[in-house]
Amino acid sequence: MSYTAELIAVGTELLLGNIANTDAQMLSKGLSALGINVYYHTVVGDNPARLKQAVQIAKERADIIITTGGLGPTYDDLTKNVLAEAFGKKLVYHEQSAARIRAYFDRVRREMTENNLQQAMLPEGCTVFDNDWGTAPGCAFEADGVGVIMLPGPPGECSAMFQYRAAPYLQSRSEGVILSRTLRIFGMGEAALEAKLRDRMNAMTNPTLAPYAKTGEVELRITAGAKDEAQAAALITPVEAELRGMFGDLVYGADVNSLEEALLPMLRDRGLTFGCAESCTGGLIAKRMTDCPGASAVFRGGIVSYVNTVKENLLAVPAVLLERHGAVSAPVAECMAQGARRALDCDLAVAATGVAGPDSDERGNSVGTVFIALAAPGGVWVRQLTLGFGRDRIRNLAASHAFDMTRRYLCGLTVV
Amino acid sequence: MSYTAELIAVGTELLLGNIANTDAQMLSKGLSALGINVYYHTVVGDNPARLKQAVQIAKERADIIITTGGLGPTYDDLTKNVLAEAFGKKLVYHEQSAARIRAYFDRVRREMTENNLQQAMLPEGCTVFDNDWGTAPGCAFEADGVGVIMLPGPPGECSAMFQYRAAPYLQSRSEGVILSRTLRIFGMGEAALEAKLRDRMNAMTNPTLAPYAKTGEVELRITAGAKDEAQAAALITPVEAELRGMFGDLVYGADVNSLEEALLPMLRDRGLTFGCAESCTGGLIAKRMTDCPGASAVFRGGIVSYVNTVKENLLAVPAVLLERHGAVSAPVAECMAQGARRALDCDLAVAATGVAGPDSDERGNSVGTVFIALAAPGGVWVRQLTLGFGRDRIRNLAASHAFDMTRRYLCGLTVV
């Protein structure tokens, strides 16, 4: 049988719009991968009466309630007090958690106040989730036929506490295991992919298949439930093979976070270095590459040539070429990539030039016109793109295409 | 009197964790600026029964219900049907909206299906919000003592429809006007700012003062209600002056989105050009500068020198300096900024070198050690920073410090 969960986020900062409820997104994704259906998210402020009401509503309609936030010392332990009361539990002092909190303050050499020790008060008989990423411990208990899990609010803590504490706890209490594998696909829209897969997806029950769209990409998550990990993996393997057969070289990786993250080990393992020349992307290709820890093993650098004279001086793009074709053109993209390869002394270099908007350029190239080039030992390739509207979107898609061309080159696929 | 609102987001994609509920954040911030208190956010899937239940709960506890999503043709007009039923309204055909939808499809040269025209069915007697950013119109009505507003879900549409349709509608129905002004402060933490302002904030009723924390920054929003705009402005002006007196040159702008956005007109108005040399920030300074439309008026380009040989070859940093002090040092930061100023031929250049983590560097500089330099006509300045943990956070703070140094130089303030 499948359980339903309701997420309750506690924090006035959410109701003021100070932050978005990204904890709910992370948990929803994680719970769905565990085969748990999330039916409601609720957000309430730091207000005991309104939290109590939200908990009472959730108790009636969910098998599992997961709260985020309201555990810090400045909240007067709002969430723990209200949840304990709603489920008729007492809060008791948990010595081990108190010791952890003391040790934390020693480590960061900050003074601990009595308030901080309040965090060691936990519902009697609960399972304590040690917090290695902050001070407030999380916890879980079952009462009145409902499972309750409380997690800290700061996204970094919440995410780690879910992954390493709550998810294993939920798995240990379910009869089997849930395993999931995520294939990442670049170069096909969500609508096209869904059209291709709809009948297949609807017919599947175990494993299930869920698509997640991102800018220019689709994630395809296969989730299987079984008695043990080996059996779950055995359910996933043929579906993965079928999907890889279906989408072929559009699949760039499994269980990776981004194109650039997939690219990094491919370059590193072959001892190849990478660099870039950027006009419309304005540093985004370099930024995304260096978002990956360990990028320094392959990434030598980049040249952001936002104006033509920088293209001429640092990338040796001939003035006559800029004059004849304009900066937004295939020949200039090509020259930029070759120039970056020479100037940065790297094995592979990509270049991006285009119109990110909001206005079209002085030569009448419309917003979204972008040329991406790759210069590599075997030659130079240029991809011409028409990327629609939205400055951020265009820039992100352009960077993704640069990574995609590099990946396809390294895999021996057609690059353009 | 002040009204309370509840936001109900409709969309299974939110419950699967496909997207975060950023509409709720945007609306919360916008409603708070209108003096409306948001007490709950609720998220439900594309499920009529569960949406109906959520609406019934909201009806009991809120003065205003704002829904987002569930208006598109693929949703069978879920939100409109459920809300109309919950408030005893019929849906009627709105010819003007139908004409707009037809015109939209003509404009984008896509074929319109009958489904699309369903979007022109709207609750009888409602105020229609024309959608200039998509196809689904929004609407508003009052019934059973509750105000109801329905907005489309896609963030771009939702945000524009709130700003240009729902917010003016809400303002027109309130007795006076609400005006707000946001001061942006760099260089003081939220805790320190709150400590300085807490008593003042608590004592204020009109205008009110609300701090919003961002990485390294605080936004301070002053909100005043009055009979007309002039009176509201008259309430804000002395508070703004008081705050500017209190935080002095840490205030970098009012009603701007970022340090770089504040910097752009300062550079442009003086005819100055800008460039950068980046190591640890890996392209982020250039990326953030070029996030601003119109950056090409001042930004010439950047050099991402992730490895030492690129620092030597493109920025003319002497090998002996790198050898003696290491890449993460004040002399190298200084040389990088001067090198960028020469290589990019710009008036002002910034440079960033440091350890973004996750590991400390080979010379034992700990994660978060960063040097930022500014080279300008009057000299070179270096700021040494210890930025704590978190790769993204460190990189973002480093970029912000580079913009801050530039701003302070342009304002004739002490730079370091």
**pLDDT tens figures, A317-330:** 999 999 999 999 99
Largest distance between two CA atoms of chain A? 80
Summarised one tens digit per residue, pLDDT across range B346-376 is 999 999 999 998 888 889 999 999 999 999 9
Nearest CA in chain B to A356: B293
The least confident of A298-302, A340-344, B75-79 is: B75-79
CB-CB neighbors (< 8 A) of B156 in chain A: 390
Report the share of chain B in percent with pLDDT over 70.
98
pLDDT of residue A191: 72
Nearest CA in chain A to B286: A283
Our CA-based measurement puts residue A178 at a distance from the nearest CA of chain B, in whole angstroms, of 16
A388 phi-psi bin (left φ>0, alpha ψ -120 to 50, beta other)? left
CA angle A37, A41, A43 (to 5 degrees): 160
A283 closest CB neighbour out of B286, B300, B306:
B286
Nearest CA in chain B to A286: B283
Interface probe for A, chosen from B4, B13, B16 (most Cβ of A below 10 Å), is: B16
Copy the structure tokens of residue A392. Answer: 């951020």
pLDDT of residue B282: 98
CA angle A145, A149, A150 (to 5 degrees): 140
pLDDT band for position A151 (50/70/90)?
Answer: very high
Summarised one tens digit per residue, pLDDT across range A205-218 is 899 888 777 778 88
pLDDT of residue B208: 86
Q: If you average pLDDT over residues A48-67, what whole number do you get?
A: 96
| Angstrom distances, CA of residue A297 to CA of A273, A292, B282 | 8, 11, 14
- Rounded Cα distance between B293 and B288, Å, is 11
Does the pLDDT of residue B16 top 80, yes or no?
yes
Summarised one tens digit per residue, pLDDT across range B266-312 is 999 999 999 999 999 999 999 999 999 999 999 999 999 999 999 99
Going by C-alpha positions, the residue among B413, B343, B346, B342 that lies closest to residue B381 is: B413
| CATH 3.30.70.2860 residue spans of chain B | 177-254
- Rounded Cα distance between B214 and B378, Å, is 32
- Report the CATH architecture of A4-173: 3-Layer(aba) Sandwich (3.40)
Assess contact for A222 and A240: CB atoms under 8 A.
Answer: yes
| CATH 3.40.980.10 residue spans of chain A | 4-173
The least confident of B5-9, B36-40, B373-377 is: B36-40
How many C-beta atoms lie closer than 10 Å to residue A96's C-beta? 11
| CATH 3.90.950.20 residue spans of chain B | 259-410
Nearest CA in chain A to B23: A20
Nearest CA in chain B to A212: B18
CATH 3.40.50.880 fits A259-410, yes or no: no
pLDDT band for position A262 (50/70/90)?
Answer: very high
pLDDT of residue A83: 97
pLDDT of residue B108: 65
Interface probe for A, chosen from B14, B38, B43, B312 (most Cβ of A below 10 Å), is: B43
DSSP letter at B108 equals T
How many residue contacts between A and B have a Cβ separation below 8 Å?
A: 238
CATH number assigned to the domain with residue range B177-254, chosen from the 4 options 1.10.240.10, 3.30.70.2860, 3.40.640.10, 3.40.50.2000:
3.30.70.2860
Largest distance between two CA atoms of chain B? 80
CB-CB neighbors (< 8 A) of B358 in chain A: 293
pLDDT of residue A261: 97
pLDDT band for position B74 (50/70/90)?
Answer: low
Residue A304 and residue B284: Cβ atoms within 8 Å?
A: no
Copy the structure tokens of residue B261. Answer: 């956005």
Our CA-based measurement puts residue B140 at a distance from the nearest CA of chain A, in whole angstroms, of 22
Summarised one tens digit per residue, pLDDT across range B44-65 is 998 999 999 999 999 999 999 9
pLDDT of residue A73: 67
pLDDT band for position A56 (50/70/90)?
Answer: very high
Does the pLDDT of residue B204 top 80, yes or no?
yes
pLDDT of residue A144: 94
B290 closest CB neighbour out of A22, A45, A306:
A306
Alpha helices (H) along B6-94: 12-15, 22-33, 48-61, 78-86
pLDDT band for position A339 (50/70/90)?
Answer: very high
pLDDT band for position B75 (50/70/90)?
Answer: low
CB-CB neighbors (< 8 A) of B344 in chain A: 310, 314
Our CA-based measurement puts residue B292 at a distance from the nearest CA of chain A, in whole angstroms, of 9
pLDDT of residue B34: 87
Nearest CA in chain B to A30: B17
Our CA-based measurement puts residue A110 at a distance from the nearest CA of chain B, in whole angstroms, of 14
What is the crossing angle of helices A284-291 and A259-269, to 10°? Answer: 70
Our CA-based measurement puts residue A233 at a distance from the nearest CA of chain B, in whole angstroms, of 22
CB-CB neighbors (< 8 A) of B180 in chain A: none
Residue bearing tokens 């007196």: B245
Our CA-based measurement puts residue B329 at a distance from the nearest CA of chain A, in whole angstroms, of 18
A307 closest CB neighbour out of B61, B301, B357:
B301
